[in-house]
Structures are given as structure tokens and as C-alpha cells.
């Protein structure tokens, strides 16, 4: 049992409110980084985070524990049988939800995983059950995929009592039509720490020196090597850039299943000497300082928080039209169709070659994408939901 204290007699809420975030894996990803940003900026005397993950990962473990949180890994003591593993994970999840007595379950997992565990929180009596939609995909071609998505949306509607999304497009993809039609969801902006990402000319020189990128034209991308991020097309674009500017370099930050495949493609294209596969990084805000143009050709995104980070760092951003337009906040953004050729994208990138970066985050701050604003909103909603549940007792 966690230590609790009463805030005051008016609210009748036991603080801190323990929130259990259900995430596939606490690795170096956009959703995970958002959760950590919120964790750092929320009032931890009022709200404390814990994390329940389907796959163990130590990437944020020390940071979470230092902030007062805990990670519950569902893949502990697994066997070689997939079916038996699935049963063990759900039983382990049942015990965690029953024994740890979290007041709020905040779910960030994708719909397929959510389908077969939807009613466990109801069985153990978690009072506040939030589903948070982050992702958005294109139209599904097969009827069975469309059926699975429909059933998942309905299960979410039945088993959760509150709903968040990072954008209206993400809400339409993740939530049932009835929830969307009745506006029963809240938008939680994927806020960032604007001060941390602000352009710094001195830091740019330092990072470029560390990466041996002085006097280079640096094109950058940050994201996991997954099909959605479209690294295949990104490498083709850079190949076209490099043909026209031998001084160009491509900085790729991230890990993922397709990394080796992309390294092989870089060799085939003859650009491997000009491409830096940096790997995962915690100091993304520093690496951004070294970039001249950020290229973001994703096939789909629920939001695309890294696009905000690039704009906060004063970097021109070339992005695909399949990314939610809410992210194109400043005049730094150029939106292109993925139907355009790699050569066309390359020309647009080279047009930005002489752009001078500046430290100016006013547009982003005014648009509500400051992490302090997002954290405060989340804190108020958590308190509101708990207070409402107390009233109904």
C-alpha cells in the first residue's frame, strides 16, 4: 500500500493519486518520451506515475524510480509457449491491478492487444479507466482488419469511462463513432519543454564538433526504424540530395527492427559513408541543434511530437501530408505529398540550405504545446475524475 495524505477536507481526495500507465514497452519512443515529459512536469505531490509494460526495457527505469515511480513487467517468468505466455501475462496483470490499488488506469496500448484484456480493470474495480489514442493509420484493406478495429473500439467504449486523444484524427481512428460524435473525449496536446529545445548557436557548434559535422549540410530524422516512419523513402530522398550536394550528411537517431535493412539499403544506394546511424538517444534536444533541415516523411502518425521539437529548435521541417496538420504550427513547415518523387523532395530540402535558425518559440507557446500546460490539464482531469468517483460512493 502506498503512503497517502489528505490534501484538504474540501476535495476529500487521498494524495498522491497513483496512476498506472499501461504501455507496450517503456523504450525510446514518442509516446514514452511524452509520458516522461509529463511525469517531470506534473505536480508529483498530487500525482504519481507507475508503468505496467508487456515487454521489459531498462531505458527509463532509473529515471522513473528516481521520480518515485515503479515499472511492473508482465513478461517476467515467461515460457516458450506463446499461448501460455499470453495467459500468464493476463493473470499477472490481474494481480497487479487487484493488489496495488491504483486509482487510475491510463491505457496507451494499441487496440489489438487491448481487445482481450479490456474487462480486467472492471473485474478488479479500478474506478477511473482512461483510454488514450495516440496512433492513426490509413484505411484497412481487408474486412477482417476492419472488423477487428470496430470490435476493439466498441470494447474500449464499454470497458473505459474516460477517453483522451492527441489529435482529433487520432480520436476518430481509436474511438467509437458514438464517443466521437458525442464529443466524449479530451484532447491532450503532446506538449514539449520549449525552453529545453530552444535554438542555441553555441550548443550547435559543440554538437557538430562532437559528431564531426562541422561545415556540413545536415539533414536529420528522429524516430524508430518501423514501416510507419518510411525510412526507405527517406534514404531515397537523401540519395538525391547527396547527388546534388556532396557536403550533405544524414543523421538518423533511433533504433528498431528495420535498422539493419536500412543500413543495407544505404550501402546499395552508395550513401553509407554520408549516413550516420546514431542509435537511440536521451539527449534529443541537443542532437537537434546540429540539424539544418528535418525531414519527416511518415506514412502515418497519431500526432508526430518530434515535428514540434524540430520547430522549437528553429529547424526547417519538410513533412508528409499524411501527418496530422495540427503539428504544422510555424512557418518553418513545408508539407509535401508522398506521391511526389524523391527528387522533388530533395529539391525542397536544398531550397532550405541557406536558412538561418533563430531562437523563437512564441508561436508554439501560444498554440498550447508547452509541456507545463499539458501537465496541468492532465493533473486537473485526474483530480476531476477521482472527485467524481468519490461523489458517487
**Closest to 332 (Cα-Cα) out of 360, 367, 290:** 360
Q: 362 falls in which pLDDT band (50, 70, 90)?
A: confident
Q: Above 90 in pLDDT, residue 83? A: no
Q: Above 70 in pLDDT, residue 206? A: yes
Which region among 155-169, 286-300, 335-349 has the lowest average model confidence (pLDDT)?
A: 155-169
Confidence (pLDDT) at 1: 46
**Cell numbers found for residue 303:** 500526432
Confidence (pLDDT) at 105: 95
Confidence (pLDDT) at 345: 98
Which residue reads 474511438 in cell numbers? 175
**CA-based radius of gyration for the chain:** 22
Q: Which residues contact 95 (CB under 8 A, 6 or more apart)?
A: none
Residues paired with residue 18 on neighbouring β-strands, in sequence order: 48
- What's the whole-number average pLDDT of the chain? 90
Residues paired with residue 293 on neighbouring β-strands, in sequence order: 219
Q: Above 70 in pLDDT, residue 93? A: yes
Q: Above 90 in pLDDT, residue 111? A: no
Q: 169 falls in which pLDDT band (50, 70, 90)?
A: confident
264-314 pLDDT, tens digit per residue, is 999 999 999 999 999 998 899 999 999 999 999 999 887 888 999 999 999
What average pLDDT does range 199-216 have in this prediction? 97
Q: Above 90 in pLDDT, residue 134? A: no
Sheet-wide strand order for 47-53: 71-73, 47-53, 17-23, 104-107, 128-133, 162-165, 186-187
Which residue reads 496536446 in cell numbers? 189
Q: Above 50 in pLDDT, residue 377? A: yes
Confidence (pLDDT) at 257: 94
Q: Above 90 in pLDDT, residue 392? A: no
What average pLDDT does range 312-340 have in this prediction? 95
Q: 112 falls in which pLDDT band (50, 70, 90)?
A: very low
Q: Do residues 278 and 251 lie in contact, with contact meaning Cβ atoms separated by under 8 Å? A: yes
ω into 122 cis (within 30 of 0): no
Rounded to whole angstroms, the Cα distance separating 176 from 171 reads 9
**Closest to 190 (Cα-Cα) out of 30, 383, 358:** 30
Residues paired with residue 105 on neighbouring β-strands, in sequence order: 20, 129
Rounded to whole angstroms, the Cα distance separating 72 from 76 reads 9
What average pLDDT does range 244-264 have in this prediction? 97
Rounded to whole angstroms, the Cα distance separating 164 from 147 reads 22
Q: Above 90 in pLDDT, residue 230? A: yes
What domains lie within the chain, and their CATH numbers? 5-191+370-392 (3.40.50.2000), 194-366 (3.40.50.2000)
Amino acid at each position: 500500500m502506498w503512503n497517502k495524505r489528505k490534501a484538504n477536507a474540501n476535495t476529500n481526495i487521498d494524495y498522491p493519486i497513483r496512476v498506472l500507465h499501461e504501455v507496450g514497452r517503456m523504450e525510446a519512443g514518442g509516446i514514452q518520451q511524452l509520458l516522461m515529459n509529463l511525469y517531470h512536469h506534473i505536480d508529483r505531490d498530487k500525482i504519481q506515475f507507475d508503468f505496467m509494460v508487456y515487454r521489459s526495457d531498462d531505458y527509463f527505469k532509473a529515471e522513473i524510480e528516481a521520480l518515485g515511480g515503479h515499472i511492473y513487467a508482465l513478461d517476467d517468468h515467461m515460457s516458450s509457449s506463446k499461448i501460455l505466455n499470453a495467459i500468464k501475462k493476463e493473470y499477472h496483470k490481474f494481480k497487479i491491478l487487484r493488489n496495488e490499488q491504483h486509482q487510475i488506469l491510463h491505457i496507451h496500448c494499441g487496440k489489438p492487444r487491448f481487445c482481450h484484456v479490456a474487462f480486467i480493470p472492471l473485474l478488479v474495480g479500478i474506478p477511473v479507466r482512461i483510454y488514450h489514442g495516440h496512433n492513426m493509420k490509413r484505411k484497412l484493406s481487408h474486412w477482417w482488419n476492419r472488423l477487428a478495429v470496430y470490435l476493439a473500439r466498441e470494447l474500449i467504449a464499454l470497458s473505459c469511462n474516460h477517453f483522451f486523444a492527441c489529435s482529433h484524427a487520432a480520436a476518430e481512428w481509436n474511438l467509437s463513432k458514438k464517443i466521437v460524435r458525442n464529443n466524449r473525449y479530451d484532447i491532450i496536446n503532446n506538449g514539449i519543454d520549449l525552453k529545453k529545445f530552444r535554438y542555441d548557436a553555441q550548443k550547435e557548434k559543440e554538437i557538430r564538433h562532437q559528431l564531426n559535422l562541422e561545415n556540413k549540410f545536415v539533414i536529420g530524422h528522429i524516430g524508430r526504424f518501423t514501416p510507419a516512419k518510411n525510412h526507405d523513402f527517406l534514404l531515397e530522398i537523401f540519395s538525391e540530395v547527396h547527388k546534388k550536394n556532396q557536403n550533405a550528411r544524414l543523421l538518423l537517431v533511433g533504433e528498431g527492427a528495420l535498422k539493419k535493412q536500412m543500413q543495407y539499403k544505404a550501402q546499395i544506394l552508395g550513401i553509407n559513408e554520408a549516413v550516420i546511424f546514431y542509435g537511440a538517444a536521451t539527449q534529443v534536444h541537443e542532437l537537434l541543434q546540429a540539424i539544418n533541415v528535418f525531414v519527416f516523411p511518415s506514412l502515418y502518425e497519431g500526432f508526430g511530437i518530434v515535428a514540434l521539437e524540430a520547430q522549437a529548435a528553429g529547424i526547417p521541417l519538410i513533412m508528409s501530408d499524411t501527418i496530422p496538420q495540427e503539428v504544422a504550427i510555424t512557418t518553418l513547415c513545408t508539407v509535401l505529398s508522398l506521391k511526389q518523387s524523391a527528387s522533388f523532395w530533395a529539391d525542397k530540402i536544398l531550397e532550405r540550405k541557406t536558412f538561418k535558425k533563430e531562437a523563437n518559440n512564441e508561436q508554439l507557446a501560444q498554440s498550447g504545446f508547452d509541456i507545463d500546460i499539458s501537465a496541468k490539464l492532465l493533473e486537473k482531469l485526474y483530480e476531476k475524475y477521482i472527485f467524481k468517483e468519490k461523489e458517487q460512493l
